[in-house]
Amino acid sequence: MNCPICSSKQNKRKYKIEKFVVIECPKCGLIRLDHDFSFDKVKKLYKKQYFNNPVFSIGYIDYAATERSLRLNFLKRAKRISRSVGEKQIRLLDVGTSTGYFISECSKLNIIAEGIELSEEAVDFARSRLKLTVFKSALEDFRGKKQYDVISAWDVIEHSSDPNKFLKKVNSLLVENGKFFFTTGDVQSVCSKLSGKRWHLFNLPDHLFFYSKGTITKLLKKNKFVVKSITYPWNYYELGYLIERFLKKVVGLKNVKLIKFLAYNFISRNIIIPFNLFDIMEVEAIKK
């Protein structure tokens, strides 16, 4: 696959992480997983058990255990969107909405939010338990006719196997001057550089691309967006989740039962702390 930003055919090996190879484009600097996953293969990964995965070390061990912190972070982001857009009523589509906590928080504000999600379990949860409007689809296959004032995608774009196709679709679903808010890791952050191949966001093979301020700006420009801001906000996390990530990525533990036992005991499950490694970008881009 040619580089999605500059179409270069060349690449150089950056890291070998277990059986995976992470490559870098020598021309534009884009870092990505060297893979030949088809879009269908990628979709399969999310259909079942991604959000409550007791066996494999991909996906989340226990997504539901992080509900409180997720809702706190999502409400903060919804408020930011509300302030930035400033309309009386904002129509929003959340891509990769998972169990729908973000659109549920949006409903506390002036945002009419719908979601789109691939995981069957997550969609069922959002619809039946939270009574939300969630379409079961990949963004690239989505046939919705509506246009939205805002599209959001929290930690999603790095999972997309064809980021140009993904962004074209986002663009087509936005009204003129509509806004795209999203988060993704920054592979050129100090934390990433210090961690090398042990960086906690080298979640392979679910993460396919590793953007930086520079490469995400180029990619957005190529797909008719202008970057308004890139910030590194603080987020809340359950202590248990931070322990899970630490054990998996820094210690290198593979035994999911043991990780679960160590990370999600009564205390760590219930403590929420603000945390920031300044390696997650929150991007606001405008359709041009």
Three-state DSSP state, 209: strand
The answer to whether residues 161 and 132 touch, using CB atoms and an 8 Å cutoff, is no
CA torsion, ordered 262, 267, 268, 272, to nearest 10 deg: 180
Give the helix/strand (H/E) hosting 114.
strand 111-117
To Zn ion, the closest distance from the beta carbon of 2 in angstroms equals 8
The answer to whether residues 126 and 115 touch, using CB atoms and an 8 Å cutoff, is yes
In angstroms, what CA-CA distances link 237 with 38, 65, 276?
33, 10, 10
Binding mask 161-200 for Zn ion (x = CB under 5 A): ----------------------------------------
Pairing of strands 31-33, 209-210: antiparallel
Site stretch for Zn ion (CB under 5 A), options 3-11, 76-84, 129-137, 217-225: 3-11
To Zn ion, the closest distance from the beta carbon of 12 in angstroms equals 11
Q: Which amino acid is at 44?
A: K
The answer to whether residues 77 and 102 touch, using CB atoms and an 8 Å cutoff, is yes
Residues 64-83 that bind Zn ion (CB under 5 A): none
What is the token pair recorded at 75?
């409400």
To Zn ion, the closest distance from the beta carbon of 34 in angstroms equals 14
Is the Cβ of residue 214 or residue 233 nearer to Zn ion in the bound state?
A: 214
Binding mask 9-48 for Zn ion (x = CB under 5 A): ----------------x-xx-x------------------
Residue of 6, 109, 191, 256 interacting with Zn ion (CB under 5 A):
6
> Counting contacts by CB under 5 A, is residue 3 touching Zn ion?
yes
> Counting contacts by CB under 5 A, is residue 242 touching Zn ion?
no
Size of interface with Zn ion, in residues (CB under 5 A) = 8
Binding footprint of Zn ion on the chain (CB under 5 A): 3, 5-6, 8, 25, 27-28, 30
